[in-house]
Amino acid sequence: MSVAALLAGSGLPAAEARALLARLLGVARERLVAHPELAVEAAIAERFNALAGERRDGVPLAYLLGEREFYGRCFRVTRAVLVPRPETELLVEQALACVAGIACPRLLDLGTGSGCIAITLSIERPDAQVVAVDRNAEALAVATGNAAALGAPVTFLLGDWYTPVTGPFHCIIANPPYVTQCDPHLHELRHEPLGALVAAGDGLADLHRIAAGAPPLLHAGGWLAVEHGHDQGPTVRELFATHGLNEVSSLRDLQGIERVTLGQRA
């Protein structure tokens, strides 16, 4: 079967279909555009059709390709970790801004998943000491592999939030579970690890723990920065203030949604 016939019958957007087939063939996507007449072996065609079926069922393309770009770098992803999302780059940018004037800052990334936040911070600030925590050993294996591939000297620890770490830090960063169990969009995320998405207490349980545990582990003047849901900004700001954080504010992503909240230890 030809490239053109396979792509046309995939039921996928052309760009996604080309990405999958190019990966299976080990060629650049541009080659498929330039040579739609190329013949594809039966075994590869069968594998392509199986992957196309998974994609039509909602499996993220990143899982099928095994990688996702974040902050201009390629990260390996498996179904043990969330797919890195562009809006999370705002969290990285704010963390970098929080430590911009500090030499050799110490940073903590909670719930690191693929490691995209911690690794990006480590590369962007090579003088920083970056520690990353996750309670999932499979996720930590993915993150450790990404750090090795990208040459980022991040320290990875297995544990639940602050349990395995010793402070103080200049900035604590977290993209925790914040989706509610009854969120109508949860079905769309069904192929990603629910433990990294869903939190009890209207999606706020883990944000409560993170806000409560941050002040004792922050340097004076240190920052906590978290990502949260589109309607959680007011509650998270109140939560930060309740636990003694000052200069609390929320930042909007490119879609105008309050996505990241910051607070500083006095």
Low-confidence ranges of the chain (pLDDT < 50): none
Model pTM? 0.93
Predicted confidence (pLDDT) per residue in 135-168, tens digit: 999 999 999 999 999 999 999 999 999 999 998 9
pLDDT at 180: 87
- Strand partners of residue 61: none
Say whether 48 sits in a helix, a strand or coil. Answer: helix
Of 63, 88, 58, 89, give the one whose Cα is nearest residue 76: 63
pLDDT score for 118: 98
- Give the orientation angle of helix 14-25 with respect to helix 42-56, to 10 degrees: 140
Give the angle 96-177-144 at the CA atoms, nearest 5°: 60
pLDDT at 50: 96
Strands of the sheet containing 218-227, edge to edge, are: 155-158, 129-134, 106-110, 169-174, 218-227, 258-265, 245-252
pLDDT value for 183: 84
Peptide bond into 234 cis (omega under 30): no
Give pLDDT, residue 3: 87
